[in-house]
Amino acid sequence: MILFHGTTEIIEKPNVSFSKNYLDFGKGFYLTTYQKQAEKWALRKALRKQKSAIVNAYELSADLGTYKVLQFKQENEKWLDFVCACRKGDNIYKNYDIIIGAVANDDVFKTVDMYFRGIWSKKKALEELRYYKMNDQICIINQNVLDEKLVFQKAYQVSQNAK
Protein backbone atom coordinates (compact mmCIF):
# COMPACT_ATOMS: atom_id res chain seq x y z
CA MET A 1 0.00 0.00 0.00
CA ILE A 2 1.36 3.42 -0.96
CA LEU A 3 1.08 6.07 1.78
CA PHE A 4 1.94 9.77 1.93
CA HIS A 5 3.21 12.15 4.61
CA GLY A 6 3.09 15.92 4.14
CA THR A 7 5.71 18.02 5.89
CA THR A 8 8.61 20.41 5.22
CA GLU A 9 11.45 17.87 5.05
CA ILE A 10 12.48 14.71 3.27
CA ILE A 11 12.03 11.90 5.78
CA GLU A 12 13.66 8.68 4.60
CA LYS A 13 13.73 7.14 8.08
CA PRO A 14 10.64 8.21 10.09
CA ASN A 15 10.93 8.33 13.87
CA VAL A 16 7.88 8.32 16.17
CA SER A 17 9.74 10.29 18.83
CA PHE A 18 9.32 13.47 16.73
CA SER A 19 5.53 13.28 16.91
CA LYS A 20 3.42 15.69 18.91
CA ASN A 21 1.18 14.70 21.79
CA TYR A 22 -2.63 15.11 21.87
CA LEU A 23 -3.26 14.09 18.26
CA ASP A 24 -6.28 12.11 16.97
CA PHE A 25 -4.69 8.68 17.41
CA GLY A 26 -1.97 9.62 19.87
CA LYS A 27 1.74 10.05 19.36
CA GLY A 28 2.97 8.41 16.17
CA PHE A 29 3.96 8.89 12.55
CA TYR A 30 0.89 9.92 10.53
CA LEU A 31 0.29 8.96 6.91
CA THR A 32 -2.62 8.89 4.48
CA THR A 33 -3.60 7.06 1.31
CA TYR A 34 -4.78 10.39 -0.15
CA GLN A 35 -1.95 12.16 -1.96
CA LYS A 36 -3.88 15.46 -2.18
CA GLN A 37 -4.46 15.41 1.57
CA ALA A 38 -0.73 15.00 2.18
CA GLU A 39 -0.07 17.91 -0.18
CA LYS A 40 -2.50 20.12 1.79
CA TRP A 41 -0.79 19.16 5.06
CA ALA A 42 2.62 19.94 3.56
CA LEU A 43 1.47 23.35 2.29
CA ARG A 44 -0.05 24.21 5.68
CA LYS A 45 3.14 23.26 7.55
CA ALA A 46 5.31 25.10 5.02
CA LEU A 47 3.29 28.27 5.45
CA ARG A 48 3.64 28.11 9.25
CA LYS A 49 7.36 27.34 9.19
CA GLN A 50 8.26 29.48 6.15
CA LYS A 51 9.83 26.43 4.46
CA SER A 52 9.24 24.31 1.37
CA ALA A 53 6.29 21.92 1.27
CA ILE A 54 7.44 18.31 0.86
CA VAL A 55 5.43 15.13 0.38
CA ASN A 56 7.12 11.84 1.22
CA ALA A 57 5.80 8.62 -0.33
CA TYR A 58 6.23 5.21 1.30
CA GLU A 59 5.18 1.65 0.76
CA LEU A 60 3.70 -0.18 3.74
CA SER A 61 4.04 -3.95 3.64
CA ALA A 62 0.73 -5.83 3.48
CA ASP A 63 2.19 -8.42 5.85
CA LEU A 64 2.03 -6.85 9.28
CA GLY A 65 2.66 -10.13 11.07
CA THR A 66 1.75 -9.99 14.73
CA TYR A 67 1.56 -6.20 14.97
CA LYS A 68 -1.60 -4.97 16.65
CA VAL A 69 -3.82 -2.92 14.32
CA LEU A 70 -6.90 -0.94 15.34
CA GLN A 71 -9.07 0.08 12.42
CA PHE A 72 -12.09 2.37 12.64
CA LYS A 73 -14.19 1.59 9.58
CA GLN A 74 -16.53 4.51 10.27
CA GLU A 75 -16.84 7.64 12.36
CA ASN A 76 -18.93 6.17 15.14
CA GLU A 77 -19.11 6.44 18.91
CA LYS A 78 -15.96 4.33 19.40
CA TRP A 79 -14.01 6.53 16.97
CA LEU A 80 -15.25 9.72 18.61
CA ASP A 81 -14.44 8.50 22.14
CA PHE A 82 -10.99 7.33 21.05
CA VAL A 83 -10.11 10.62 19.33
CA CYS A 84 -11.31 12.66 22.32
CA ALA A 85 -9.40 10.46 24.77
CA CYS A 86 -6.17 10.83 22.76
CA ARG A 87 -6.66 14.59 22.46
CA LYS A 88 -7.04 14.76 26.25
CA GLY A 89 -3.71 12.98 26.67
CA ASP A 90 -4.99 9.48 27.45
CA ASN A 91 -2.45 6.83 26.47
CA ILE A 92 -4.98 4.27 25.15
CA TYR A 93 -3.27 4.43 21.76
CA LYS A 94 -0.24 2.69 23.26
CA ASN A 95 -2.19 -0.61 23.20
CA TYR A 96 -1.73 -0.67 19.41
CA ASP A 97 1.07 -0.58 16.86
CA ILE A 98 -1.00 0.95 14.03
CA ILE A 99 -4.30 2.86 14.12
CA ILE A 100 -6.34 3.50 10.98
CA GLY A 101 -9.39 5.69 10.64
CA ALA A 102 -10.88 8.99 9.57
CA VAL A 103 -8.95 12.20 10.06
CA ALA A 104 -10.57 14.98 12.05
CA ASN A 105 -9.82 17.79 9.57
CA ASP A 106 -10.75 21.42 10.29
CA ASP A 107 -14.48 20.99 9.68
CA VAL A 108 -14.66 17.68 11.51
CA PHE A 109 -12.54 19.07 14.33
CA LYS A 110 -15.12 21.80 14.97
CA THR A 111 -17.77 19.15 15.46
CA VAL A 112 -15.53 16.97 17.63
CA ASP A 113 -14.54 20.04 19.64
CA MET A 114 -18.20 20.92 20.32
CA TYR A 115 -18.60 17.46 21.86
CA PHE A 116 -15.16 17.56 23.51
CA ARG A 117 -16.07 20.80 25.35
CA GLY A 118 -19.48 19.47 26.41
CA ILE A 119 -21.46 21.89 24.22
CA TRP A 120 -23.00 19.13 22.11
CA SER A 121 -24.09 15.66 23.14
CA LYS A 122 -22.40 12.63 21.63
CA LYS A 123 -25.57 11.96 19.63
CA LYS A 124 -25.57 15.49 18.15
CA ALA A 125 -21.87 15.28 17.25
CA LEU A 126 -22.31 11.90 15.54
CA GLU A 127 -25.31 13.22 13.60
CA GLU A 128 -23.23 16.16 12.34
CA LEU A 129 -20.25 13.98 11.39
CA ARG A 130 -22.28 12.05 8.83
CA TYR A 131 -22.38 15.18 6.63
CA TYR A 132 -18.62 15.34 6.16
CA LYS A 133 -16.55 13.44 3.63
CA MET A 134 -13.54 12.37 5.62
CA ASN A 135 -10.13 11.27 4.44
CA ASP A 136 -8.12 8.59 6.18
CA GLN A 137 -5.11 8.66 8.41
CA ILE A 138 -2.78 5.87 9.40
CA CYS A 139 -0.87 6.39 12.63
CA ILE A 140 2.13 4.15 13.18
CA ILE A 141 2.95 4.14 16.88
CA ASN A 142 5.53 1.37 17.05
CA GLN A 143 8.99 2.34 15.77
CA ASN A 144 9.62 -1.28 14.75
CA VAL A 145 6.76 -1.07 12.24
CA LEU A 146 8.39 2.01 10.70
CA ASP A 147 11.79 0.33 10.57
CA GLU A 148 10.61 -3.07 9.28
CA LYS A 149 7.44 -2.49 7.26
CA LEU A 150 7.56 1.07 5.84
CA VAL A 151 9.86 1.68 2.88
CA PHE A 152 10.66 5.18 1.62
CA GLN A 153 9.89 5.54 -2.11
CA LYS A 154 10.38 9.21 -2.99
CA ALA A 155 9.85 12.80 -1.92
CA TYR A 156 8.70 15.77 -3.96
CA GLN A 157 8.11 19.47 -3.42
CA VAL A 158 4.61 20.95 -3.65
CA SER A 159 4.03 24.54 -4.70
CA GLN A 160 1.23 26.78 -3.52
CA ASN A 161 -0.08 26.86 -7.11
CA ALA A 162 -0.53 23.08 -7.14
CA LYS A 163 -3.55 23.19 -4.85
> What's the pLDDT at 106?
63
Average pLDDT, whole number, for the chain?
90
Could you tell me where the DSSP H helices lie in the chain? 35-49, 77-87, 106-116, 122-129, 143-149
How many whole angstroms separate alpha carbon 99 and alpha carbon 94?
A: 10
Mean pLDDT for the stretch of residues 64-89: 90
Q: Residue 113's pLDDT is what?
A: 79
How many folded domains does the chain comprise? Answer: 1
Q: Which domain range does residue 32 map to?
A: 2-162
- Specify the DSSP element, H or E, that contains 20: none
- The answer to whether the CB of 35 falls within 8 A of the CB of 55 is yes
Q: What is the pLDDT of residues 87-120, one digit of tens each?
A: 889 999 999 999 999 876 666 677 777 888 889 8
